[in-house]
Structure 1
Amino acid sequence: MNRRDAVAALAVLTSINFLNYIDRYVLAAVFEPVKRELQFSDAQLGWTLSAFMISYSLTSPFFGRLGDVLTRKHLIAAGVALWSFATAGAGLARSFWQMFVPRSLVGVGEASYATLAPTIITDYYGQEMRGRALAVFYAATPIGSALGFVLGGSLAEQFGWRAAFFVVGLPGLLFALMALAIREPRRGFSERSAASKTAPPSLFQTYRLLWQNKTYVLVTLGFVAYTFALGGLVGWVPAFLERYDGMTTAEANQIFGAMTVVSGFLGTFAGGFLGDYLLRYTKNSYLWVSGLSMFAGAPLSVLALSSREPGIFLPAIFTAEFFLFLNTGPLNAVLLGCVPAEIRATAMAVNIFFIHALGDAISPPIIGALSDRFGLFRATLLAPAMMTASGIILLSAIQYRYLRRSGSRQR
């Protein structure tokens, strides 16, 4: 194992992550033509999106456990192949269930990838470079998501919505082969641990270890609050811009989409590099960056939602999103770094389950229900409130670590 192997693995896994988010969001880009041809109701359209999130959340813990005991690149390749076939298969749908089932299988395939790819990167990159490596990997999130909408819409307009699924789905089979070609490091390689020589604990013991790891628990709770806020804003800001700022549907989506791509890319990269740089001053740099970015983003979100002047609310939205994405690399770095190497895949999987089940899967409907009762402006203020809660939780993890070290010295 050398630096070339690490760079090659990061390049392949990041490329697959682009495809991951393209395939995830291509359906949303072709909602209207699918609705017209297959005569879906809006509720059925919504369930085709939920099909992915349900299977993704439920199967993540399963793949986490497999990733701790089996060869991870084999599981990743199988997952990429499955979701690629399933994405293309959605283009053959003639009914609701023929769309629902393939989209559920996309969630299963992506669960295999999302739980395991970060653990391989963590095993290749030590703490001094881990934040940057994970920032590169997660920078694919905003860009891939945007490409899913752009490619889906363009392909549907020129060749029909079915072609969109075929074109973005089938190339994944090549990426599955590329995943098999990477050299997988032994678990704990970056820490020079002997995880690969030690049998992982039982599933019950693993869950108990995670529950007893207060840093992991606090980071996961902070992650849940962060994901809740991000999901709520992404889901409702375009509608907010239409209702309160007089934009058309196209204008709201284009402006917010463009700001999300740019702010997400810049924020993700900046957070990874800043977290690694500050490691020379404090071992809790990742938590400081993540927690303080939440405190910085919350008031900016309130300003963006309160102002009706484009010269104020547009820069405020952009900057708030920048701070939201700033913690992506550092937060994942501390999450994976605070658990033993032999249970990292399960730790990642459990985190994925909770941040989606209690985060972005429920925040849009909760804000929608509050909007029906109190109006959208008041309802969306829940997002900056959750950002503040996330910041408090993440900074409390620093205090816990400090108190634990102090207690160890006294003993």
Structure 2
Amino acid sequence: MPSADVHHALTPRRERATLLALAAVQFTHIVDFMIMMPLGSQLMRQFDITPAQFSHLVASYGLAAGVSGLAGGFILDRYDRKRALIALYSGFGLATLACGFAPTHLALLAARIAAGAFGGVSGSMVTAMVGDIIPIERRGRALSVVMSAFPIASVMGVPAGLMLAGHFGWHAAFIMLGACAAANVILAAVALPPIRTAVLTTNPFRQMREIVTHGVHLRAFALGGVLVMAGGCLVPFIAPSMIANMGLTDNQLPWAYAAGGACTFFSMPVVGRWSDRVDKFRLLVWMSVVAIVVMLVFTRLGPTPLVTVCVMMALFMVSMSSRYTPAMAMITNAVEARYRGGFMSVNASLQQAASAGANILAGAFVTTGAGGRLVGLPMLSYASGGFFLLTVLAAHQLRAAAPHVSAPVPFPTSHRPVAEVELPAA
């Protein structure tokens, strides 16, 4: 690999504005994905589809994102991040709006494919921009700011979408997201810095070959894939199971998501600071142990009071999201800046494909039993546990190949640009 490079330094104020704008973009990406889960019961009734068909509807987003992300790996480093992000995100907004006007199951499936094609790649640009402007010693905290979109989406976005869906039908949730995306396009155009990241001198096929054959990159890709599969097995049926198995109503469901999101909002900054101060691999191991315990209990609940469901949902969301900050920091640290756009696009492609595969796997395990109860969740939890263990193994392999990706850094640190660590040879 060539020598390391220097980050694009921003003032603290501009850095915060940039991270908040990127978080706003991620907010709509996450709500767009998450809203499908609690709308599962409505969509299955509306279109008269089976749980397996619903899992395919969810998986279509990930499969499309996987294909487009792989294609984006060839060309994204030839464009400045801001320009690429705004163009791709505009396509995502239009596709999400099309979801809101879909009259049939097949039309919705087509719109979800389009949303995934644009959304998956624009999401990778968000992570790439964090790597461009934040030095390695503060990247965990910066990623936690951007990833705070997840709890905010749970507290505000998903409940708001469900309330709109309850009053005006499921179409309203996607129309709301389309409007939010339009506002975010304007915000991104104003707030994001015009940093110059385009690399025009490298042949795109050679660039892609270097990205996908480097040993450290391959280990990072493996970590990204199994990271999302652990949750992708379960997430599509969490909301339907809270209704069918635990006895919640459609009106009670937003409370469970709000409780989980509120707790995650407070936990993510803490985990982000830990990720910068302690060994990221060890933090990932401990968070994975907690997540496995919570997941095994949550998937076996029968009729349960709302308060208990809210507590379990909070534990589930906190433990699951706490794995992402150290793992994604390790992945982002594993690549040099000149490869970052293509690398993150390929990584997003593999993650989306892995998530789609996990969604389809979930549909093979879960069926509808007597009285509408979802059957097969306990067996599915064992499959999910296997992916948790594979995540830890993949992270261990990445740390062994490139120890700097996991190492803690001194605290506090300044906003001075610092040189990245050069990756070892493949």
> TM-score band, normalised by the shorter chain?
0.7 to 0.9
Match of 2:204 in 1: 202
From 120, 123, 138, the counterpart of 2:132: 123
Amino acid in structure 1 at the alignment position of 2:289: F
Q: Deviation at 1:255?
A: 6.2
Matched, 1:326 2:318: no
* Identity across the alignment (%): 18
Alpha-carbon contact 2:211-2:339 (below 8 Å) kept: no
Q: Deviation at 1:135?
A: 0.8
From 59, 72, 78, the counterpart of 2:81: 72
CA-to-aligned-CA distance 1:270-317 (integer Å, 9 cap, x gap): 221111123xxxxxx233322332234334434555688989997666
CA-to-aligned-CA distance 1:63-101 (integer Å, 9 cap, x gap): 343321112211211222222222223333333443333
Match of 1:41 in 2: 49
Amino acid in structure 2 at the alignment position of 1:298: I
Matched, 1:353 2:349: yes
The correspondence of residues 316-395 of structure 1 with structure 2, limited to 5 A, is 318-319=314-315, 321-358=317-354, 360-370=355-365, 375-395=376-396
In structure 1, what is the Cα distance between the partners aligned to 2:387 and 2:53?
A: 30
User: Which runs of no fewer than 5 residues in structure 1 stay unpaired?
Assistant: 188-195, 279-284
From 132, 146, 152, the counterpart of 1:137: 146
Larger RCO: 1 or 2 (CA < 8 Å, sep 6+): 2
**Aligned Cα RMSD in Å?**
3.7
| Matched residue SS, 1:23 | helix
CA-to-aligned-CA distance 1:362-384 (integer Å, 9 cap, x gap): 22442453456x94323312222
In structure 2, what is the Cα distance between the partners aligned to 1:368 and 1:105?
A: 22
CA-to-aligned-CA distance 1:222-264 (integer Å, 9 cap, x gap): 33222111122323445556677x5345498456534532343
In structure 2, what is the Cα distance between the partners aligned to 1:294 and 1:353?
A: 23
Alpha-carbon contact 2:219-2:394 (below 8 Å) kept: yes
TM-score (norm 1): 0.80
Alpha-carbon contact 2:141-2:276 (below 8 Å) kept: yes
In structure 1, what is the Cα distance between the partners aligned to 2:33 and 2:290?
A: 30
From 107, 121, 146, the counterpart of 2:116: 107
Q: Deviation at 1:8?
A: 1.7
Q: Deviation at 1:199?
A: 3.2
| Matched residue SS, 1:5 | helix
Match of 1:298 in 2: 292
CA-to-aligned-CA distance 1:16-40 (integer Å, 9 cap, x gap): 2112223334455555666666x55
| Matched residue SS, 1:93 | coil
Higher helix share: 1
In structure 1, what is the Cα distance between the partners aligned to 2:291 and 2:178?
A: 36
Q: Deviation at 1:212?
A: 2.2
Matched, 1:264 2:274: no
Match of 2:31 in 1: 22
Amino acid in structure 1 at the alignment position of 2:272: G
The structure-2 alpha-carbon separation of the partners of 1:165 and 1:250, relative to structure 1 and needing over 3 Å to count, comes to closer
Q: Deviation at 1:159?
A: 3.6
Alpha-carbon contact 2:41-2:240 (below 8 Å) kept: no
In structure 2, what is the Cα distance between the partners aligned to 1:197 and 1:332?
A: 24
Matched, 1:175 2:187: no
Match of 2:4 in 1: none
In structure 2, what is the Cα distance between the partners aligned to 1:31 and 1:180?
A: 34
CA-to-aligned-CA distance 1:304-362 (integer Å, 9 cap, x gap): 5568898999766644542332232222222122111111111112212222322x322
Match of 2:233 in 1: 232
TM-score (norm 2): 0.77
Q: Deviation at 1:146?
A: 5.4
Alpha-carbon contact 1:263-1:325 (below 8 Å) kept: no
In structure 1, what is the Cα distance between the partners aligned to 2:327 and 2:360?
A: 26
From 68, 91, 94, the counterpart of 1:59: 68
Q: Deviation at 1:124?
A: 0.9
CA-to-aligned-CA distance 1:123-164 (integer Å, 9 cap, x gap): 111112111111110121243255443222222333444444
Amino acid in structure 2 at the alignment position of 1:199: T
The structure-2 alpha-carbon separation of the partners of 1:386 and 1:103, relative to structure 1 and needing over 3 Å to count, comes to closer
Alpha-carbon contact 1:264-1:322 (below 8 Å) kept: yes
Match of 1:288 in 2: 282
Match of 1:166 in 2: 175
| Matched residue SS, 2:234 | helix
The structure-2 alpha-carbon separation of the partners of 1:277 and 1:185, relative to structure 1 and needing over 3 Å to count, comes to farther
| Matched residue SS, 2:335 | coil
| Matched residue SS, 1:94 | coil
Alpha-carbon contact 2:61-2:356 (below 8 Å) kept: no
CA-to-aligned-CA distance 1:193-217 (integer Å, 9 cap, x gap): xxx6783453344334443233x32
Amino acid in structure 2 at the alignment position of 1:344: R
Alpha-carbon contact 1:200-1:342 (below 8 Å) kept: no
The structure-2 alpha-carbon separation of the partners of 1:272 and 1:402, relative to structure 1 and needing over 3 Å to count, comes to closer
Amino acid in structure 1 at the alignment position of 2:101: L
In structure 1, what is the Cα distance between the partners aligned to 2:54 and 2:321?
A: 28
Amino acid in structure 2 at the alignment position of 1:328: Y
Match of 1:192 in 2: none
The structure-2 alpha-carbon separation of the partners of 1:165 and 1:319, relative to structure 1 and needing over 3 Å to count, comes to closer
In structure 2, what is the Cα distance between the partners aligned to 1:173 and 1:265?
A: 25
Give the count of matched residue pairs: 389
